[in-house]
Structure 1
Amino acid sequence: MRVRLSVATATAVAAALAAVTGCAEKADTAAGGDGAIKVTAKDDSCEVSKKEFPAGHVQLDIENKGSKVTEVYILFPDDRIVTERENIGPGTKARLTAEVKSGSYEIACKPGMKGDGIRQKVTVTGGKAAVRSPEMDAAVAAYRQYVQAQADETLPKAKVFTDAVKAGDIEAAKKAYADSRIGWERTEPVAESFGDIDPKVDLREDGVEKGQKWTGWHRLEKSLWQDKKLGPEDTALADTLIKDLTVWQKKVGTAEITPTSMANGAKELLDEVATGKVTGEEERYSHTDLVDFKANVEGAQKSFELLKPVASKNDPKLVAELDKQFAALNTLLDKYRKDKTTYVFASYDTVGKDQRKELSDGVNALAEPLSKLAAAVVK
């Protein structure tokens, strides 16, 4: 989810991201490669070292020399996302490995993580596509089935939620709210790749830009928990949410999915946890952050498990570390789970500062090796 951050929040996020990515970036930088495309992101510019490069596996070495948290994307001409790296803190570096076909694209930097970004047109030449093993093709096919299943399962759950909203039943709507979001949170990077669906469905209030109407889950969350009332506007918002989620359900099958986008998406889900769930900002009214947290981790783990046959051959030590850290984080999360067979977690406003620090440390321990998964897949 992309949000517009206040100065105070951006500073806190930058500190969190330094913890999440710092070790990985130092290690990756030392490993550098002459074939990498260097992207230098500043507050007012996006410098790209190469405007033309061959199709196949492309590596971006990103450095944020600006004062704001930034994002970097490779975009199709219609603004669909090929790949992205969000939440790059000021003064930090990131490495992004992607599979790109020949054609015209744009590389975009988004200082402050808002707006259309500062863009550079690039051309990918040659008809040679990245070489994929049968294991890679199997992973992509299985992940496509997974994201479609998540979308298919989300619609009826969302309908339970919106029906309660339209009936004016606040308690029933509250009860259905978190459950209706699980499939979305598991596969959020795929939803974000379509560009316009995510801001319609999952935008927080501080992410609303001038002239933009606030719609989606979090708008209704505010009505339920803060305003404590439902009216005609909420009925309209409920209908719009179902409409937008139906578009997502239909589009999922057309998503551009590659082994590297799966690996990068897993890392994005951990970044979502670090910058939204651990801080308590995502579900600021309902305090159902731990449900989203668990779903993000499950989505990241699904990508990893599907890519494991490939990664195990190329980097068995990395795979062993990821197995260890996923298990540790899941064990930690289960401490807050009220029922092991359902998604009933403690309200996040009951989770103290020391406990949040423990959760943050668990995320950081997983995010560092997970940032290396895409490179391991294409070795």
Structure 2
Amino acid sequence: MRALRSSAVAAVAAAAVLTAVSGCSGKADKNAADAIAIKASDDKCEVAKTSFPAGDVTFKIENKGSKVTEVYVYAEGDRIVTERENIGPGTKAEITATIKKAGSYEIACKPGMKGDGIRQKITVTGGSEKAEKKNPELDKAVAAYRTYVQQQADETLPVAQKFADAVKNGDLDEAKKLYAPSRTGWERTEPVAESFGDIDPKTDVREDGLEKGQTWTGWHKLEKSLWDAKQITDEDKKLADQLITDLKDWQKRVGTAEITPTSMANGAKELLDEVATRKVTGEEERYSHTDLADFEANVEGAEKAYDLLKPVAAKNDAALAAELDKQFAAVKKALADYREGDGYKSYDTVGQDDRKKLSDAVNALAEPLSKLAGAVAK
């Protein structure tokens, strides 16, 4: 789970389409000269230009505050259309995007990476014929990825139900055994799952990510009971049923998610960021120490998106595709060293030197993966 999103985010909102592109060349380089500056601080979110025409837009973000921040662009109804997380104090980041539809949007800066953020309304005007052009190969990739994310949701429910049943039966050992497998489909498609911002806080939030007044539910609440408290309470049994209810909601709605070639590419990068900032650190599965299973699922999901986009990416940037092939193989090889039976070693047995090796492998992949969206958008 990444930084907590506002629970007020609507599931399906305006038909506006904004596709984020990271590391673009060509068109994006041209647009960089006209980039819109965003100065984020602990109490301000200053956007240099609040009205601009549809088409390619580059946002150059500077964090002038003392806290790590993130910047979101929201469409009507608080639908998350693009974002950049983990922007450290005194650092800069860039988001290049294609906004295909005119309409009202909001930019939110979130110091501390929590809450609704400090918001600035923006207006996108006009239209862009170029933005509406179709690429059959990319359309095919999107269709295949949409099938994949639905399949992951469909396959998650039976396993999650077994996990929930074990909790309700008070079977501590069986629940522990099924905990990590019940999360695999979610972890493979996490960026799509999180686009429904009201589901993620119910199912995958950690205790330190709770908003004021929010009731803790979902996997990690049950994880704490199973491994830390080492007991299953009547409340946990009710939470197991609630988890299934929320996952069924995800399963039903995932087919309506807005998916574009660049959202697939940037989603792959987000999955690697999840590994780098939460799995490698041991932060995500702090009680069960099943982080390596999550790690594997995140990498598998990122590679799936890349494989579907590769035919176009390789045509546009053969060197990038070759590097991505190399680095995906390296990450999977590094992870394989920690295999144990049908799963992975408990992450609390992985020393700091080994964690550093895993981190280095992930970072070596994340850098070229940040350019994938640019390659498919050429």
TM-score (norm 1): 0.89
TM-superposed CA distance for 1:291, in Å, is 0.3
- Name which of structure 1's ranges 112-121 and 41-50 shifts more when overlaid on structure 2: 41-50
Structure-1 residue corresponding to 2:175: 173
Give, in whole Å, the separation in 1 of the partners of 2:105 and 2:220.
32
Choose which of 297, 307, 319 in structure 1 pairs with 2:309.
Answer: 307
Give, in whole Å, the separation in 1 of the partners of 2:335 and 2:119.
39
Structure-2 residue corresponding to 1:61: 60
Residues 1:270 and 2:272 aligned together: yes
In 2, are the aligned partners of 1:83 and 1:264 still within 8 Å (CA)?
Answer: no
Residues 1:33 and 2:35 aligned together: no
TM-superposed CA distance for 1:30, in Å, is 9.1
Structure-2 residue corresponding to 1:218: 220
- Measured against aligned partners, the alpha-carbon deviations of 1:175-209 in whole angstroms (never above 9, x if no partner) come to 00000000000111111111111111000011112
Structure-1 residue corresponding to 2:41: 42
Give, in whole Å, the separation in 2 of the partners of 1:131 and 1:62.
29
Residues 1:105 and 2:99 aligned together: no
- Match of 2:186, SS state, is helix
Structure-2 residue corresponding to 1:70: 69
Q: What is the aligned-residue RMSD (CA, Å)?
A: 1.8
Structure-2 residue corresponding to 1:91: 90
Structure-1 residue corresponding to 2:324: 322
Give, in whole Å, the separation in 2 of the partners of 1:93 and 1:42.
12
Residues 1:182 and 2:184 aligned together: yes
- Aligned AA (1:170): L
- Measured against aligned partners, the alpha-carbon deviations of 1:101-125 in whole angstroms (never above 9, x if no partner) come to 2221111111111000111111122
Choose which of 110, 131, 134 in structure 1 pairs with 2:133.
Answer: 131
Residues 1:255 and 2:254 aligned together: no
Identity %: 71
- Match of 1:150, SS state, is helix
Give, in whole Å, the separation in 2 of the partners of 1:140 and 1:67.
39
In 1, are the aligned partners of 2:31 and 2:57 still within 8 Å (CA)?
Answer: no
Structure-1 residue corresponding to 2:158: 156
TM-superposed CA distance for 1:32, in Å, is 7.3
- Match of 1:279, SS state, is coil
Structure-2 residue corresponding to 1:10: none
- Name which of structure 1's ranges 160-169 and 135-144 shifts more when overlaid on structure 2: 135-144
- Match of 2:232, SS state, is coil
Give, in whole Å, the separation in 2 of the partners of 1:133 and 1:50.
31
- Measured against aligned partners, the alpha-carbon deviations of 1:58-79 in whole angstroms (never above 9, x if no partner) come to 3322222222111111112211
- Aligned AA (1:117): G
Give, in whole Å, the separation in 2 of the partners of 1:68 and 1:314.
38
- Aligned AA (1:249): Q
TM-superposed CA distance for 1:36, in Å, is 2.6
Give, in whole Å, the separation in 1 of the partners of 2:77 and 2:194.
14
In 2, are the aligned partners of 1:42 and 1:67 still within 8 Å (CA)?
Answer: yes
- Name which of structure 1's ranges 57-66 and 145-154 shifts more when overlaid on structure 2: 57-66
- Aligned AA (2:352): K
Structure-1 residue corresponding to 2:369: 370
- Aligned AA (1:371): S
In 1, are the aligned partners of 2:53 and 2:124 still within 8 Å (CA)?
Answer: yes
Structure-2 residue corresponding to 1:348: 347
User: Where do 5+ consecutive residues of structure 1 fail to align?
Assistant: 5-23
In 2, are the aligned partners of 1:185 and 1:296 still within 8 Å (CA)?
Answer: yes
- Name which of structure 1's ranges 165-174 and 311-320 shifts more when overlaid on structure 2: 311-320
In 2, are the aligned partners of 1:99 and 1:130 still within 8 Å (CA)?
Answer: no
TM-superposed CA distance for 1:130, in Å, is 4.0
TM-superposed CA distance for 1:374, in Å, is 1.4
- Match of 1:194, SS state, is coil
Give, in whole Å, the separation in 2 of the partners of 1:280 and 1:108.
29
Would the alpha carbon gap of residues 77 and 30 (structure 1) be closer, same or farther in structure 2, given more than 3 Å must change? closer
Give, in whole Å, the separation in 2 of the partners of 1:39 and 1:205.
31
TM-score (norm 2): 0.90
Structure-1 residue corresponding to 2:11: none
In 2, are the aligned partners of 1:98 and 1:261 still within 8 Å (CA)?
Answer: no
Give, in whole Å, the separation in 2 of the partners of 1:131 and 1:225.
52
In 1, are the aligned partners of 2:272 and 2:362 still within 8 Å (CA)?
Answer: yes
- Measured against aligned partners, the alpha-carbon deviations of 1:211-244 in whole angstroms (never above 9, x if no partner) come to 0100000000000000011111001100110111
Structure-2 residue corresponding to 1:144: 146
- Aligned AA (2:107): I
TM-superposed CA distance for 1:133, in Å, is 1.1
Structure-1 residue corresponding to 2:287: 285
Structure-2 residue corresponding to 1:204: 206
TM-superposed CA distance for 1:272, in Å, is 0.7
Give, in whole Å, the separation in 2 of the partners of 1:130 and 1:39.
27
Give, in whole Å, the separation in 2 of the partners of 1:99 and 1:134.
18
Give, in whole Å, the separation in 1 of the partners of 2:334 and 2:158.
30
- Measured against aligned partners, the alpha-carbon deviations of 1:267-312 in whole angstroms (never above 9, x if no partner) come to 1111111111000010000000000001111111111111112211
